[in-house]
Amino acid sequence: MYIIPAIDILDKKVVRLREGDYQQVTNYDVTLEEMIERYQANGTDFIHIIDLNGAKGDFSNQEYLAEIIQKTAMKVQYGGGVRSIEKVKDLIGAGIHRVIVGTQAITNPTFLDELSTSFIGKNNLTDHVVIAIDVLDEVIKYSGWMESSPVKLMDYIDRCLELGFFRFLCTDINKDGKLGGAGVELYAKLLDHSPFIKLIASGGVSSMADIEKLSEINVESCVVGKAIYENHISVEEIKAWNLKAMASL
């Protein structure tokens, strides 16, 4: 299992939300550029960046983020406001390694079909698409976690798999931003339902012990944000873990 450091951006600031609530924001006295430089200097080669404004349909950060991301040599997993096939193609074309799609995939019945048609069999581009599933008590949330979908969680996963998408970023909203432990039970349910999915865990990781628990249930990777900012997990620990993980492949 691989650890991917996470950076959430709101109004061009590095932040973390609690349970996805935009009214419960923790701001950090560090810039996106500084965080990227810190990770890169320590040997990190993969980073997770979310535009929280974009997730709500506000694209005021887009130019700022694009300029910074294009300068880094790290692989970037990027999400927040990706609402069209053209946007997915543009981001991959601009060098984004993985593009996360969430709201549009849930609310637009034809979006996933069109995305599948555009990417299946074309240089394995589906490996560069991540389906975001943000979950609160097994209910799928979208639009910055402000709306609820009537689609059942397992049914949605099955539909994505049928269309050729196999990598999922699952955020357990109950755990997110609390540093109270990862949503191991939720992830175990998903993997029990579909053992072959590539699952990226998000939310609640507070220690390397949480990382161990996720690894034990065969989560592919996890994103870690607040635990790094608040010194529960060091960048050095992440580097050591990832080196060990890569050596075991």
Catalytic residues: 8, 134
Place of tokens 């012990």: 209
The tokens of 92 are what? Answer: 């991959």
